[in-house]
Amino acid sequence: MWRVCLIFIALFSSAGLAAAADWTLAKFGGRDHVTLRNVAEFYGLGGVQRVKNEFSLRSAGRQLRGQANSAEFYINNLKFILSYPVTEHDGQLWISRMDLTKLLEPVLRPSRIKHAETVDTVVLDAGHGGHDNGAYSPQGWEKQFTLDVAMRCRALLSQSGINVVMTRSTDTFVPLEERTRIANRHDNALFISIHFNSGGTGTGLETYTLAPRGVPSMMADGPRISDLDPCPGNVRDAENIALATATHAAFVVNSKMYDRGIKRARFVVIRDVTIPGVLVEGGFLSNAYDARLIASPEYRQRMAASIHQAVMTYRRVLAPEVSVASAQSLEQREVARRSQDALRGGASAPGAEPKK
């Protein structure tokens, strides 16, 4: 639990930023990029340390690392899959402008997200149901496990005074479009869709958030013309990635499962919701080890507790009016206090039009 808190405190902190930064753009590969050196200067991360293809940017309590020509990117050891690989060009390492504005900035400084709403409702979406069984394991069907996690999470959130809406609370089939309609009836809300994975020998946890406009879905075979079409959920790009970060960090630390990363997709339920939303995959039912864990009530309770923890952290970080006194434990109060302190001050966000 405390390791999760340390991740949140480090990620959701604006300390140590430079007072200002001029962003220098270079266009290659069909898109704009900024140098990692520029990123390090702006976020107060010192210089770019590099050993062969591996690089890191460090400051007190914060580390960014990855490899040249790879989309895998780690912030305080939490895995993100970038929209585009970090690229070597003219002797420097560059990150896409899209990843700077749509991932790094809202993850590193969520308190700067504009128009974020105070959350008082969570829409829990238990995947599958009725004739749609989902993935199978000898221990049971995905639809059973997703509903159990959602019901356990509903109890925890309700105890914390959060209004909970269920897209289904029984073994019934609910079309994807109806799930999004249910979510979009609510303001000041979050949407969390609960699933379990299947396929080959895969193992571990994934968290999906909506791909920004123009970014290929990681579940597609390649770029498509439709990637350029705006989706309803893109109005919440910044909140989406902040919620995904809080959720995935809690899952990874509490479950101790393999971290497959925070990824981008256009699943219907995260594409068409107009409130911040994520889709979580809590392990592979096709993997014997994962399936045994998923069949365990203790594991499903940890999943429910992780969602609860993520919601409360998101609320504290993005809504400073949430009282520190509302945190239930000494540890939660300390996280709340530090998170609210981080909401004060800081430099200007990277502008929409960096200098060329």
Unique residue bearing structure tokens 């020509």: 69
Structure tokens at 212: 């920004």
Half-sphere exposure (Cβ direction) of 52: Cα atoms closer than 13 Å: 0
Quote the CA–CA distance of 86 and 88 in Å, as a whole number.
Answer: 7
Give the other-Cβ count within 10 Å of 111's Cβ: 21
Quote the CA–CA distance of 156 and 124 in Å, as a whole number.
Answer: 12
| Cα-Cα-Cα-Cα dihedral sign, residues 198, 8, 102, 191 | positive
Q: Is 298 exposed, middle or buried (0-12, 13-18, 19+ CB in 10 A)?
A: exposed
Per-residue confidence (pLDDT) for residue 130, from 0 to 100: 98
Give the other-Cβ count within 10 Å of 24's Cβ: 13
What is the 3-class SS of the chain, one letter each residue? Answer: CHHHHHHHHHHCCCCCCCCCCCCCCEEECCEEEEEHHHHHHHCCCCCEEEECCEEEEEECCEEEEEECCCCEEEECCEEEECCCCCEEECCEEEEEHHHHHHHHHHHHCHHHCCCCCCCCEEEEEECCECCECCCEECCEEHHHHHHHHHHHHHHHHHHCCCEEEECCCCCCCCCHHHHHHHHHCCCCEEEEEEEEECCCCCCCEEEEEECCCCCCCCCCCCCCHHHHCCCHHHHHHHHHHHHHHHHHHHHHHHHCCCEEEEEEECCHHHHCCCCCEEEEEEEECCCHHHHHHHCCHHHHHHHHHHHHHHHHHHHHHHCCCCCHHHCCCHHHHHHHHHHHHHCCCCCCCCCCCCCC
Give the residue ranges of the chain where pLDDT is below 70.
Answer: 1-21, 221, 319-356
All structural domains of the chain, each given as residue ranges with its CATH number in brackets, are 18-108 (3.30.457.10), 121-338 (3.40.630.40)
Quote the CA–CA distance of 326 and 201 in Å, as a whole number.
Answer: 43
Distance of CA 126 to CAs 72, 144, 169, 192, 353, Å?
29, 9, 8, 9, 41
Determine if the pTM surpasses 0.85: yes
Distance of CA 63 to CAs 55, 78, 150, Å?
10, 10, 33
